[in-house]
Structure 1
Amino acid sequence: MGEASFSWNLFADFQQMWSYPFMVNAFRAGAIVAVVASAVGWFVVLRRQTFAAHTLSVVAFPGAALATLAGFALSLGYFGFCIAAALVLAALRRVREPRGSDESAATGTVQAFLLACGYLFMALYKGLLEGPQSLLFGSFLGITTGQAATLTVVGAAVLVVLTVIGRPLLFASVDPQVAAARGVPVRALSVAFLVLLGAATAEAAQITGALLVFALMVLPAATAQLLTARPGRSLLLTVVIGFTATWAGLVAAWFRPYPLGFFVTTIAFVLFLLAQGARLLATVLANRNASATITAGAA
């Protein structure tokens, strides 16, 4: 927004922000997007599928560009392209898996082709395209009540499915060979998770933009997994970090005329650096204590 002035009366500032319906919608949408993206992103980092997540985030851009060109809802373009691309990635993985070849080449091919399609759709659009910048880097100005409701419904569905498959998915993510030997449907879970990832990416792209949704999915999870190795605590911490970064980014974007995605990504990155520093400090202190104990024992 950039026109509002910051004061030390936080209550008055929030009251002013929430007096505008579009800001209420933005905070509602930001809350559900942060929770869904963080929960799905935790499994993305655990399963080492960050490249697939990046590909789907790129795919959100041509989906939105095609929706603008064809004149239908942006949400339909986001969800349609991201979920379709997730199914394509699942099919490519299944085809290449028996050969033991690296799937990154096929994933990168899909990413490059669809990104080129996005720029083609933008070039074909002859009207005033409001916002290649908002499509790429995010905006909160255009979030309507209907869009917030759609994000809530889809987000709730993603969380319900993730809750149902969460335990076997965790087992399959940590040790897929043992999980398969014990009868866990590893391949089916992989396909289901990619579809959930596509839906979560389509949601998050409407807040952070197509290019920066990857950061919202990966940074909170990477930060939490630096701080604790316990799955339950790590997942909860991931959601808290994602929620904090998103809402703090919305507040910052209200006062400063810069893209929302920049603020969300920067806040999440700073938290990651702090976690990295805390872990490094804890390691140094632990090594010093161990050295002191060994020296005392030798003496």
Structure 2
Amino acid sequence: MRPLLEWSDVFSFEDYGALLQLVGNSVVAGAVLGIVGGLIGVFIVQRDMAFAVHGVSELSFAGAAAALLFGGSVVAGSLVGAVAAALLIGALGAKARDRNSIVGVLMPAGLGLGILFLSLYEGRSANRFSLLTGQIVSVSSPDLGWLIGIAVVVLAGLILVWNPLRFDSLDGQSAEARGVPSGAIAIVFMILLGLIVAVAVHIIGALLVMALLVTPAAAAMRVSHGPLGVPLLAALFGFVSAVGGILLAIAGTLPVSPYITTISFLIYLVCRVIAWRRDRALAVVGAPAVAPAAA
């Protein structure tokens, strides 16, 4: 009797080289997204905004679905939805309580609108499904240019505001007392977040963007605490998750998102085990354990 699921049903490495050439754009886009997403994820975790990422992604999904329905650019629609959500959260959600309530309103609204637009769309079902779970063959050369350009803008913006953003993320009251424009920094950060979320939707889908924007940074903060070590590790973990997931998905029969999320989650588990063993060793010798920055 044939088993319900065999290895060949999940992976097949026949013609792997030819398939790899077909998804070269997606590999490049995934690498860029993994690096930039890991870097911005450090501030997402420090500012306790993981929930906000999900809210922005739902509005990005709604914008992309609307563009798909009306024949516009999916990248442009995704950008409009993500930036609009980011500006709303940044302007109205200065306090964590207000921010969470705003995100709680935006999430079902964005998801509902997106599902409505997709239900009215009469084109290929793969196009609809890819907005939710990602699609490794959906990154065309023009889209790749847009995605890389957006990622470069986000990276440049992070570099420009890195020090005040880090100060404000770690100790907002002290930063404001020292003259850091916390309100402006929050708006700039939310715009950068909206831009990178719009990129992530095209690689991993709207439902699972946190696997690349939150998990790598959370893992890095388990094993490092330095101002240089955390962002470097987060960028590395994001890169490995995105590129590794895409390379596995080429030989698989599943959407790209399960592979990326699984690798990202395994990295997080390994980092937690390392942190646990380190803390136990420090406790044995009587040294105080260093608490992780977050996650």
Q: Distance in 2 between matches of 1:101 and 1:232?
A: 31
Alignment of 1:277 with 2:284, yes or no, is no
* Corresponding residue of 1:295: none
* Corresponding residue of 1:208: 204
Match of 1:144 among 105, 115, 140: 140
* Corresponding residue of 1:122: 118
Q: Which amino acid aligns with 2:166?
A: L
Alpha-carbon distance, 1:52 to partner? 0.8
Q: Pairwise CA RMSD of aligned residues?
A: 2.0
Q: Which amino acid aligns with 1:92?
A: L
* Corresponding residue of 2:13: 6
Q: Distance in 2 between matches of 1:3 and 1:55?
A: 32
Alignment of 1:247 with 2:243, yes or no, is yes
* Corresponding residue of 2:222: 226
* Structure 1: unaligned runs, 5 residues or longer: 292-299
Cα distance change of structure 1 residues 4 and 277 upon mapping to structure 2, 3 Å threshold:
closer
Q: Distance in 2 between matches of 1:107 and 1:4?
A: 38
Q: Distance in 2 between matches of 1:259 and 1:4?
A: 12
- Is the 2:82–2:198 contact (alpha carbons within 8 Å) kept by the matching residues of 1? yes
Q: Which amino acid aligns with 2:274?
A: A
> Residue 156 of structure 2: SS of its match in structure 1?
helix
Aligned ranges 1:57-76 → 2 under 5 Å: 57-76=57-76
Alpha-carbon distance, 1:90 to partner? 1.7
> Residue 23 of structure 2: SS of its match in structure 1?
helix
Q: Distance in 2 between matches of 1:269 and 1:131?
A: 27
Alignment of 1:176 with 2:172, yes or no, is yes
Q: Distance in 1 between matches of 2:125 and 2:54?
A: 25
Q: Between 50-59 and 255-264, report the one with greater CA deviation.
A: 50-59
Q: Distance in 2 between matches of 1:102 and 1:92?
A: 7
**Scaled by the length of structure 1, what TM-score is found?**
0.88
- Is the 1:66–1:77 contact (alpha carbons within 8 Å) kept by the matching residues of 2? yes
Alpha-carbon distance, 1:77 to partner? 1.1
Cα distance change of structure 1 residues 127 and 101 upon mapping to structure 2, 3 Å threshold:
closer
Alpha-carbon distance, 1:281 to partner? 1.2
Alpha-carbon distance, 1:3 to partner? 9.6
**Partner deviation per Cα, 1:160-204 (whole Å, 9 max, x = no partner):** 111000100000111111111111111000000000000010011
Q: Which amino acid aligns with 1:81?
A: G
Alignment of 1:158 with 2:160, yes or no, is no
> Residue 214 of structure 2: SS of its match in structure 1?
helix
Alignment of 1:190 with 2:186, yes or no, is yes
Q: Distance in 2 between matches of 1:69 and 1:23?
A: 25
Alpha-carbon distance, 1:111 to partner? 1.5
> Residue 206 of structure 2: SS of its match in structure 1?
coil
Q: Distance in 2 between matches of 1:145 and 1:131?
A: 17
- Is the 1:57–1:214 contact (alpha carbons within 8 Å) kept by the matching residues of 2? no
Alpha-carbon distance, 1:262 to partner? 0.8
- Is the 1:40–1:197 contact (alpha carbons within 8 Å) kept by the matching residues of 2? yes
Q: Distance in 1 between matches of 2:132 and 2:123?
A: 18
Q: Distance in 2 between matches of 1:165 and 1:76?
A: 25
